[in-house]
Each structure stands twice: as structure tokens, then as C-alpha cells.
């Protein structure tokens, strides 16, 4: 079994390298065939979560029948929305749901990391609602969670707690969530939060949440939010872990190692030599995700009833 997993990982890596050397996936460079009866659309969604509604967007794929769907979570505070990735996945035949957590980017409510986790689960519940699935032609047997930085941690958390999740794409899940070193001071955690939020420049993307509040929440939940303790559950799903040359790389490597040793693990780890935002490697990032999605979830037409 371990040999099989090793061979599968090598084949994926070879396919990725060949694609990057020769040509990128079709969805990177070509629009889908015109389908006037079932065109792709951008739908604005008021997503229900814990008694309020938050801002969300659903990109629906072109073509008749049910489509696989990916939830794409942004990080802290979410300046990088990864919408280039979302649009490419839409062109590849997937629906893509994105959202702004409570208290962030105009969404109602109070921003906390706990609320982010709850909002992620609320998004999953919304997709599985029969009325939602029917209205937007969602194939609920193929629901993938994905995210970047804090959003990658959220996607990993859901994959580690939800059997309904079909797969997960974790892009530089970060170093703070469940991975604070024991010797770090509260002041240093507060400083990290201030730097992430750009408070010194007057930015206010997450409402009235303060760096001190967020730092205390991280410290309080440091052990509970460590994804490695859910490695057995994570190993039940196909996982793509993409890492970069950011400070969180060692933590991501530890997560990969914890999942790989689990029986039946299906995790692919791809390292892209770039910064945390993948600023000079957007094509490489998107190609990696598209190739993996196509490998794990080949497109098939499922007729609606």
C-alpha cells in the first residue's frame, strides 16, 4: 500500500512537471464552450450562519447536469482572494463558493477565529441543503474544501471533522493556528496579528476585532487547533498540500508527515519555491490545483432529475 501511494505521488509530480514544462491545463488559457442554455454565472449569496447572513459569491459552471463544487476560503484578513484560482476552477467545470466570514469585509457579525470555523461549516451545510443543491446543480457527492493561509487551516479543520467533505486543498495553511511555539510571548503573537491586519496603515478589514483579542484566542486554542491531531480523519480524504518558502513551511511539513503515516492516506505534497502569496507563481499554483482536481475527480456529466 505504501509503495502504491509513493508511486501515485510520483506520477502526480511527473504529470505536474510535464504540464508546467509543456502546456498548462486548458482551463488556464481557454474559456468553456458556449452554452446559452446553461451559461456560467456569478451569483451573489446571503449565506446564513448562526442567525445572520454573510456576504458570499457562487461561481456556477457552464453546462447541463450536476457539477462538483469547491468552497474557497480566504486568509487573514483576506486581501488575497485567489479569485484567479476560483475562475480557473469554474472554467474547468466546477462551481466555486467564496465567502467573507462574520465581521470581515462588510459581512455582519463579530470576527473571531472560532466564528470563521463555524462559518465554514455553515457554508458546507448550505451546499448540502436540498433546495440549494437543486437550484444550483450541485453534485453533493463531490464537495471539496480549499483555502489559503488561515483559509487553508479552515479547510483542513473541516476535512478533519466532516465526512461529507470529498477532498481538501490546503495552500500554505500557516504557522499560527495550533502551532504557536511554547516559548512565544503574548506580545509577539499580538505583533503578528498587527502585522497581518496592517493596523499601522489604518486598515480595518475585520470590523472591531483587535489584535489582542485574536492573539488571546490563538493562545487559548493552540492545542485544540493543531491539525496534526486530526491526521487519521484527514487521511480519509484525498488531500493536496501546497507549500511555499514562508515561515510556516516546517509546520506544513509536520502536518504532511502526520497524515502520510496513516493507513490508506491519499495526500499529495507539492512545494512551490515562492512567497506566501505565490505572487510570482500564480500560474504554477493554479495549474497544480487544476491537475490535482482532474486527477482525483474526473469530470463526468450527471443529469439532473
The tens digit of pLDDT for each residue in 145-199 reads: 999 999 999 999 999 999 999 999 999 997 778 888 888 999 999 999 998 888 7
User: Among 232, 280, 247, which residue's Cα sits nearest to residue 180?
Assistant: 247
Phi-psi region of 270 (alpha: psi -120 to 50; beta: other; left: phi over 0): beta
Local structure of residue 210 (DSSP, 8 states): -
Q: Which pLDDT score is estimated for 19?
A: 44
Q: Considering the domain boundaries, does residue 61 fall inside one?
A: yes
All three cell numbers of 59: 461561481
Contacts with 193 (C-beta within 8 Å, 6 or more apart), sequence order: 211, 212, 214, 215, 218
The tens digit of pLDDT for each residue in 236-280 reads: 999 999 999 999 999 999 999 999 999 999 999 999 999 999 999
Q: Considering the domain boundaries, does residue 63 fall inside one?
A: yes
Q: Considering the domain boundaries, does residue 299 fall inside one?
A: no
Q: Which pLDDT score is estimated for 181?
A: 86
The tens digit of pLDDT for each residue in 187-206 reads: 999 999 998 888 777 778 99
Domain that holds residue 274: 2-30+38-293
The tens digit of pLDDT for each residue in 118-138 reads: 999 999 999 999 999 999 999
Cα(118)–Cα(67) distance, integer angstroms: 25
Residue with cell 447572513: 53
Q: Are strands 52-60 and 41-49 parallel, antiparallel or unpaired?
A: antiparallel
Residue 144 has pLDDT above 60, yes or no: yes
Residue with cell 515562492: 274
Identify the bridge partners of residue 239 per DSSP, sorted by sequence position. Answer: 168, 267
Q: Which pLDDT score is estimated for 128?
A: 98
**Strand stretches in 64-197, DSSP E:** 67-73, 95-99, 138-148, 167-171
Q: Which pLDDT score is estimated for 304?
A: 60
The tens digit of pLDDT for each residue in 78-94 reads: 999 999 999 999 999 99
Residue 141 has pLDDT above 50, yes or no: yes
Local structure of residue 63 (DSSP, 8 states): S
The mean pLDDT value of the chain amounts to 91
Q: Considering the domain boundaries, does residue 304 fall inside one?
A: no
Q: Which pLDDT score is estimated for 221?
A: 95
Q: Considering the domain boundaries, does residue 284 fall inside one?
A: yes
Q: Which pLDDT score is estimated for 11?
A: 52
Element (H, E) at 256: helix 249-260
Cα(201)–Cα(90) distance, integer angstroms: 35
Looking at residue 11, which CATH number applies to its domain? 3.40.50.1820
Q: Considering the domain boundaries, does residue 8 fall inside one?
A: yes
Residue 23 has pLDDT above 70, yes or no: no
How far is the CA of 42 from the CAs of 57, 90, 277, in angstroms? 7, 10, 25
Q: Considering the domain boundaries, does residue 252 fall inside one?
A: yes
Total count of domains within the chain: 1
Angle in degrees, CA 204, 83, 23, rounded to 5: 145
Residue with cell 465581521: 103
Q: What is the mean pLDDT of residues 202-213?
A: 89
All three cell numbers of 120: 465554514
Q: Are 153 and 147 in contact (CB under 8 A)?
A: yes
pTM above 0.85, yes or no: yes
Q: Which pLDDT score is estimated for 6?
A: 47
The answer to whether the peptide bond before residue 151 is cis (omega within 30 degrees of 0) is: no
Burial label, 22 (beta-carbon count in 10 A; 0-12, 13-18, 19+): exposed
Q: Are 97 and 127 in contact (CB under 8 A)?
A: yes
Q: Which pLDDT score is estimated for 303?
A: 61
Q: Which pLDDT score is estimated for 301?
A: 57
Q: What is the mean pLDDT of residues 55-83?
A: 96
Amino acid at each position: 500500500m505504501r509503495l502504491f501511494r509513493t508511486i501515485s505521488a510520483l506520477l502526480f509530480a511527473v504529470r505536474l512537471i510535464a504540464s508546467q514544462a509543456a502546456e498548462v491545463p486548458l482551463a488556464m488559457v481557454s474559456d468553456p464552450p458556449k452554452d446559452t442554455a446553461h451559461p456560467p454565472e456569478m451569483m451573489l449569496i446571503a449565506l446564513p450562519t448562526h442567525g445572520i447572513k454573510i456576504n458570499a459569491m457562487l461561481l456556477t459552471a457552464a453546462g447541463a447536469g450536476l457539477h462538483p463544487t469547491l468552497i474557497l476560503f480566504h486568509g487573514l484578513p483576506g486581501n488575497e482572494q485567489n479569485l484567479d484560482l476560483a475562475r480557473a476552477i469554474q472554467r474547468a467545470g466546477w462551481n466555486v463558493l467564496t465567502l467573507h466570514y462574520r465581521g470581515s469585509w462588510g459581512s455582519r457579525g463579530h470576527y473571531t477565529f472560532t466564528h470563521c470555523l463555524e462559518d465554514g461549516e455553515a457554508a458546507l451545510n448550505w451546499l448540502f441543503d436540498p433546495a440549494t443543491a437543486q437550484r444550483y446543480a450541485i453534485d453533493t457527492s463531490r464537495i471539496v474544501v480549499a483555502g489559503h493561509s488561515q483559509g487553508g487551516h479552515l479547510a483542513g479543520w473541516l476535512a478533519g471533522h466532516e465526512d461529507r467533505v470529498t477532498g481538501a486543498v490546503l495552500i500554505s495553511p500557516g504557522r499560527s493556528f495550533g502551532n504557536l511555539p511554547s516559548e512565544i510571548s503574548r506580545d509577539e503573537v499580538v505583533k503578528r496579528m498587527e502585522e497581518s491586519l496592517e493596523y499601522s496603515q489604518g486598515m480595518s478589514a475585520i470590523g472591531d476585532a483587535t489584535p489582542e483579542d485574536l492573539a488571546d484566542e490563538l493562545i487559548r486554542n493552540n492545542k485544540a487547533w493543531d491539525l496534526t491531531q486530526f491526521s487519521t480523519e484527514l487521511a480519509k480524504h484525498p488531500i493536496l498540500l501546497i507549500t511555499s518558502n514562508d515561515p510556516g513551511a516546517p509546520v506544513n511539513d509536520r502536518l504532511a508527515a502526520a497524515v502520510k503515516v496513516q493507513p490508506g492516506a491519499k495526500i499529495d505534497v507539492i512545494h512551490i519555491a515562492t512567497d506566501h502569496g505565490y505572487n510570482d507563481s500564480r500560474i504554477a499554483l493554479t495549474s497544480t490545483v487544476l491537475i490535482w482536481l482532474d486527477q482525483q475527480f474526473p469530470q463526468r456529466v450527471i443529469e439532473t432529475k
